Every structure is written in C-alpha cells, then in structure tokens.
Structure 1
C-alpha cells in the first residue's frame, strides 16, 4: 500500500483539531486517556526494567497526560511518583479528572531530585508553550539534563516551542518524544529535532478528517508529496524531450562548482546539460567534461543569442560565478525570457540590496524562479524577514517566497521548501556529513535538472532536497560532494513508497 502524505500541524492547529474531535462526539478525557496510555506504553516497551518512573506534571493538559501515564504504569506494577509544578488542586477540566484518577500522593516539583535507574516522564509543558521557562522548572530541567537518565517527553520536550523548534530559555533533552495525532514543526526544526530524541507519533483516536480539515499546507518532505510529479520516460523519449539545462561557470579558477551542478543535473535525468563558460575558463572546463557540453558565454549578447534556442529551458546561476552586476543582469535576462532559473550562492548574494529588482524579474510571465539560500545568504537577501526571531523557519521561508514570487529552498539540516501560495515542507533526512564543500552546488544542479524535465516547481524543489539527503545517506559518512550524484536513488523506488 502506498504511503500517504504526512502533514505537520502547528500547536494552534492542533488545538483546533482537538476541538473538532470533541465536537464530533469524542469525549475529551478519552483523548487524554489514550495519550497517557501511549506514553506509558513507550516506557514499558523501552524501559520496562527501570527501577521506577518519575512523572513531572505541569499545570495544564500536558500534566494531565502525565497523571494518566503514571496511573497506568503503577497499575502495570512499575513504581511511579508524580511531581507537580504549582498547586495540583488548581487543575481544571480533563487534567483535574486525571489527577483524581491518579489517586495517590502528589509531590512538589521543588522536591524533585533525579535518581539513577529511574525514568523521567516530562509532562510539564506541551507544544503550545508561548513564554520562556522560569522558576523551579528551570532548575529541574537543568538537573535532569545533567543527569544521565532516560527522558520520555509528552508531546514535546519542555522548553521547546512547538511552532519554531527554538528553546524558550532552557529545554529538556529527551531520549524519546511521544506526540499525538500529527507531528509539530518543533519536532523537525532545529534545535528541536536534536532535543526530541526518537519521535513516536501516537494514534489517540482523532479521526483523520479532523486533521485534514485543519492542515495548513505544511508537510514532512517525503516521496508521497512529489512522487507522482516525477518525470516519466515514454517509449519515444529522446534527449531533447528530457530538457536542456544550462549551468553558468565562473572564471578559470572557479569552475568546479558549476561542474558539480552540471553532473547532478545530468544524473537526475536532464537530457542535455551545457556548462556556460567565460572564454577564460573554457580550457579548464573542457579538460573535465565528457557527456556535458561546453559553450562560451561572456556577456549579455551571448546569453541573448543562447536564449533564442527554446530547448534551453532551465538554468543554474551562482555556484562559483562571482558576485555583482553581471549575475543580476544574467538572471533578469533568463527570467525575462520565461525560463526556469535556480539562483544559488553568488547569484543570491548579488541581489542583496536588490530584492525588489529580483521580485520584479520573477514576476515575468512563464518565468520560474528558485532561490536556494543557506542561513547567511537568506539574511543578506531578506534582512527584514531574517531579523524577526519570533518567526519560525517555515514562516520565514513562506514570507520570502511570497515577496519574491519564487520557490524558496531555505537550506540547512532542517531545510524548508516554500512556494508563493504558502505550501511548505520540512526536510528531515539530511545527515550531518552532508555539510561539506560542494553539496549545495549539487543540490542546485538536481533542482535545475528536475525543472528542465518539466517537473512542477514546488514538487521539483521538494524532490531535489529529499534526493540530496538520501544520496548523502547512501554515500555514508566519508562523503565528498562528488559522491552525491552517483548515489541518487532510481525514481522507480518511489512508486510504492
């Protein structure tokens, strides 16, 4: 059976999902019982031989999940103790029912001391935390982090923002995190992903229709999101039907980045790839190219002549190209001709301070613009967006996409893809060894190659980012950028994913 899309929901959306489920007739306390049962099951499955469990309960429904888990673990024969942040008598609603069903002593969080051999259930704050952690919770979190004991977080490690994955003052480092119904952005955006440990998504009985009704156009970037849009070869396909990618080279000392991008574009399926080189770099490029063609492009007139050939339908501009007016001029000519353009590296930096000029060029009819910045490049091109630390990486990427009418691939270990309509996807498959020279050039080439084959923009960007990470995983920890193209999976692998 083919895997379905995997939506990622914000804490606000999750609140609406809960209300929809309850309005449909599901008793709210039943959802809490199911959530607590999922936490207890994770403890028994992974730490069943522990000496006991200490449940740190907060003042809201997250604390209620903790009391339910404690009761179930106690019933199963495990020694359990509950510690409350604040007066447990003040709990209301479903959380108060869970406290009453616990029916045993509730200790003050101020008295909690980590104990070797026991497991901690973190039920202090859930994904909806809106302020910095303070007071006794800070001391307890820091004490647990300093002690080498397993921590299972209910919904999200306390101190993390479920919206952005950022730390609110301080945060627990969990061994495992059990979340409910659907994951939150904070589970995947850094540093949240590192603090969540192993993520478990528990089905607590919320109907899928309730989740689907409140999705916000945000998904985990997995093949089901884009596999049906992958290029398909017909029996009569030939190289000219598979698109022609042009990759611009820098001067004779800056040619390697363009070749990495060109090789990736060819390997991902573009029918033809040409390195577009200044005359000074022709000899250096020619010495390294075989299946990739070479053409001299020194100035705007040369480029205009090339653009008369409609078979050139996709371009990569930026890797090793150089920063300045020439890059801006080339980008505007390509977009003005209605072609797809992947603007990367030096191409992005060339538009720092020329944001409106780029947006105007991208608005040309039929033009498709992809922008692939890392954090520093993003800050240079979108300083106002980047300076707003209260916005998540997802929202920053969405804003940048809307402002420039571009598909933005905001790179990093938690790459976010966003398009002007607001659709977005978070990538979670990039291994740390992908942080090596030339990997970004390869990503630009993958994207350019998929665009050359006519793949829709958002899907092409998501596919390129996922394939990039998967190739790195297959290459292994001794990866260098030259390995990536040769470790790409075949498209046929995704048909039943």
Structure 2
C-alpha cells in the first residue's frame, strides 16, 4: 500500500451495507445483543427523531409483519408514553413467537384499519411497513395508504425504495424524514431513493462494531477519510507533484484547456497539451504555466516522466483512434472521456487498457447499454469488462473499481450540469493520479473535490469557474481527512 494511502478499516464509518449485508450484520449482532434489545433501541431512536423533528400531533404508525414493523410498535409505545396521541395500523400480524410479535404485544393503544381513510385522519404517519430489504414491488393497496398520509416519516427506508439500488419497486411515497440504523445503505444516497427519504437520521442502536467488521462490504460513501490527497512536502517539486499530459483536438480546443485548468488547480506540478499541428491555435490562448507541445506523439512518449495522459475531451473519433492506442501501447495511464466513448460506441472492448473512464449516463449507455435500475452493478460490470476504474457521472456519481470496490458521491450540486464540467473533472483526477494516488482513490478524490469546488463556486457558475475553487476544496478535504486519521 502506498505510504500516503489509509487503511480501509479507518473508513469503516463510511461503509454502505446493502440490505442483505445488513441482514448478516444483524445476525452477527444478535449473537452478542438480543434482537429484542436492538428493536427497543431502534424504536426509541425513531420516537426521539420524531420528537425532535416536529411538535406533538396525531400519529399513526403503519406496522408490517417483520422487524421493521416491530420497530414501529416500539416507536408508537415510546411516543404514547410521552403523551402523544398515537394509533397503530397493522398490514399483517407478526409471526407468533418472534421479536416483532413481542413488541406488538406491548402495544395497548388504539388499533385502526390499514386503509387510506384511516391514514388521512392523522397529522403524521410513520412508515414501518417493509424497510430497506424489500424484495418485491409494492402493491396498489399499500401504495394507496402511504399516499394518503399528509406527512410521512419512514423507518429505515421508505416502503418501495430498494435499499440496495435506490430504485422504486412499484411505488414509493415521499417521506420528509427517514430514520435508519448502524450505517446508511446505498439506497439512501442513490436516486431516486435519496430524494424520497427526505432528511435522513442515522441512529446508533448498539450494534457492535465487531458485527460490522465480520461482514465484507465493498461500498462506501465518498468522503475524505476514504482517501487522502498526497501531501506537498518541503522536498516537493514539479515532477514529484506529477506531470499531466492532455491530447488536444483541432476543432474543440476549449475542452482540453478546461481539463488542463482542472489539473493545474488540483496541484499538478506540470501540465502539457499535446496538440500536434494545432499548436498555433492553442498558444494564442494558453495561460502562463501551460506548455503547448507541437511534436509528434511518438516523440512526446519518449519522456517517461509523462506517465498520465487524458484522452478524449474535444477529440474527434479519428483523433481518439489515432492517439488512444498509441498511449496504451506506450504503457501510459490513460483517463478516457468524451470522444473516447464515441469511438467505443457499442464496442466497450475498445476502452480496455484505460486506467480510468469517466462517462456520463448518455455516454455510458452508448458504450455499455442502458444501466437499468441497478447502476452500482452496471458500473461494476463496466469496470470489470474494461479493466478501468469507471466513474459513472451524475447527481449520485458512482466510482467503481474492477476489484469490486464502489463509492457513491452525493457531495455535489446540479450546477455541475453544464458543458465543460466533465473536462475539468478529468484534469482533477489526472493530477491526483500523477501525484501517486492509486486509480480508484484518485477517481474518488477527484469526484469529491470537483463537487466541493462547484458547491463553493457561487450561483450559476460556468465550467471555467470551477477550477478557481479546487485548491480550497483540496484544503477542506485535508482538514476533514485529518479528523479521521489524526
């Protein structure tokens, strides 16, 4: 492991267990802490979150037959003990002899029918029907009850949201608050689940960390602490900070310049544009500190210090077809974007050998086909198929490694949805890769820094504005990482 990279165990607070993995964690925890105790703690946490969220009002708790419903019975009892007017509606009775049945037996308050009319009569409805582990579509009868709620609070996950993918199974109603336990799940961060959850509260209910560590989990929330950017020490110089080379196109020079700006802002020691006989056009607009090379590509590849290359932004299919194979043959780490996906449309094997690929959903679909509801699986499959770290860009960007690791990034803004934003991202990732970060780490860090820069770029920024804030984003990332690593 490189010296500047953390042990993944340090980032265990960022783990995102899928529902089946959370089930194994629960089973491991139950060998140490009784399920009844965990259920009591969960229901108490839900009641506490509701009391903090809203003033006392008439509450209806919808309880399913499983442990999610058991949490609901406890929450109802705890709210009633605090003087709130609470009723319960059962979808179905819990299995006799189980922990949910024991929790239900302790509820002595009103029970009303599980109907839309009943739900409409209350001020707040608590959804304890199914939770994150839903494995089938929600039927119209359940959907009608949830839709009738004037306000909705969800236990673990809004019913109908797949905890593993964030996709909607049949139907899901909008919650204003979701209370979950131990760790967030992928569905809390992936759209549309993220928006349907409303505000998310993560509660500690006493699941031992040993139980979490006993289950191999390969998904993380993308934050500093999962990675750490390389330090700039007293002995650093431009080549130790890394050289980024970018292939520039004849007809769209702006894309390569945006990528170069991202690389320089992210800390690259030296950034060079390889543009061949288009050098005159580039030199007229190149800022100080950016080198424009007119030599043939094979000559430039003789310099072994130029190991990281960006290929695709602003390039035509013909230009990519000429440069991309040459870079791979020379053993360079190539970040492929933009024109590279047009070149590989319907033929993902053409991207094999790239270090990192950064498609948005449209580009991904042209190369690999539509990802479907499980975009985590689609990104992982693309990474395996190409051997490249795959950055599936969007409002919930997914960074997938060929070895199965995946990170979900929700630290961003819709303002990134502007032409040229992705070109800046490729440059940021390239700078981190050139500085020595492993591929997946560089991609994760680059995505977070890009999002953070956009969050601080003001109202309605253009792509040229993002790189002005990347340096500050990197400083903020280091402060956050320092809290994790000490």
Same fold by TM-score greater than 0.5: yes
Given that 1:217 and 1:422 are in contact with CA atoms closer than 8 Å, whether structure 2 keeps it comes out as yes
SS in 1 for 2:245: strand
Given that 1:314 and 1:452 are in contact with CA atoms closer than 8 Å, whether structure 2 keeps it comes out as yes
Give me the whole-angstrom Cα distance separating, in 2, the residues matched to 1:235 and 1:334. Answer: 33
| Alignment of 1:34 onto 2:41 | yes
Deviations 1:138-184 (A, max 9, x none): 2112223xx4x3x2110001110001100111102111111111111
SS in 2 for 1:290: coil
> What's the RMSD between the two structures over aligned residues?
1.9
Query: 1:296 deviation in Å?
Result: 2.1
Using the TM superposition, name which of 134-143 and 110-119 deviates more: 110-119
| Alignment of 1:81 onto 2:63 | no
Distance of aligned partners of 1:59 and 1:285 in 2 relative to their CA distance in 1, 3 Å threshold: farther
Given that 1:35 and 1:65 are in contact with CA atoms closer than 8 Å, whether structure 2 keeps it comes out as yes
| Alignment of 1:50 onto 2:50 | no
Query: 1:243 deviation in Å?
Result: 1.6
Query: 1:116 deviation in Å?
Result: 7.4
Query: 1:422 deviation in Å?
Result: 0.8
Deviations 1:64-113 (A, max 9, x none): 11111000000111010111113x26565111111101123322212544
Distance of aligned partners of 1:380 and 1:91 in 2 relative to their CA distance in 1, 3 Å threshold: farther
Query: Structure 2 length as normaliser, TM-score?
Result: 0.92
Match of residue 206 from structure 2: 205
Match of residue 256 from structure 1: 254
List aligned pairs for 1:174-193, cutoff 5 A: 174-193=175-194
- Among 348, 358, 365, the residue aligned to 2:351: 358
Given that 1:21 and 1:210 are in contact with CA atoms closer than 8 Å, whether structure 2 keeps it comes out as yes
Give me the whole-angstrom Cα distance separating, in 2, the residues matched to 1:5 and 1:225. Answer: 9
In structure 1, runs of 5+ residues without a counterpart are 363-367
SS in 2 for 1:312: coil
Match of residue 240 from structure 2: 241
In structure 2, runs of 5+ residues without a counterpart are 1-9
Given that 2:279 and 2:293 are in contact with CA atoms closer than 8 Å, whether structure 1 keeps it comes out as no
Given that 1:409 and 1:461 are in contact with CA atoms closer than 8 Å, whether structure 2 keeps it comes out as yes
Query: 1:313 deviation in Å?
Result: 1.4
Query: 1:490 deviation in Å?
Result: 3.5
Query: 1:290 deviation in Å?
Result: 2.0
Match of residue 133 from structure 1: 138
Query: Structure 1 length as normaliser, TM-score?
Result: 0.90
List aligned pairs for 1:83-102, cutoff 5 A: 83-86=89-92, 88=93, 93-102=98-107
Give me the whole-angstrom Cα distance separating, in 1, the residues matched to 2:381 and 2:11. Answer: 30
Distance of aligned partners of 1:79 and 1:292 in 2 relative to their CA distance in 1, 3 Å threshold: same
Given that 1:34 and 1:205 are in contact with CA atoms closer than 8 Å, whether structure 2 keeps it comes out as yes
Query: 1:464 deviation in Å?
Result: 0.1
Deviations 1:343-395 (A, max 9, x none): 01111221123322432xx1xxxxx6100011111111112xx35x35x2211
Match of residue 379 from structure 1: 365
Match of residue 19 from structure 2: 11
| Alignment of 1:320 onto 2:306 | no
| Alignment of 1:459 onto 2:445 | no
Match of residue 394 from structure 1: 376
Given that 1:161 and 1:167 are in contact with CA atoms closer than 8 Å, whether structure 2 keeps it comes out as yes
SS in 2 for 1:81: strand
Q: Which ranges of 4 or more aligned residues in structure 1 deviate by more than 3 Å?
A: 2-5, 89-92, 111-117
Given that 1:286 and 1:294 are in contact with CA atoms closer than 8 Å, whether structure 2 keeps it comes out as no
Deviations 1:109-147 (A, max 9, x none): 125444477222111111011111103212112223xx4
| Alignment of 1:268 onto 2:266 | yes
Match of residue 365 from structure 1: none
| Alignment of 1:478 onto 2:460 | yes
Given that 1:328 and 1:351 are in contact with CA atoms closer than 8 Å, whether structure 2 keeps it comes out as no
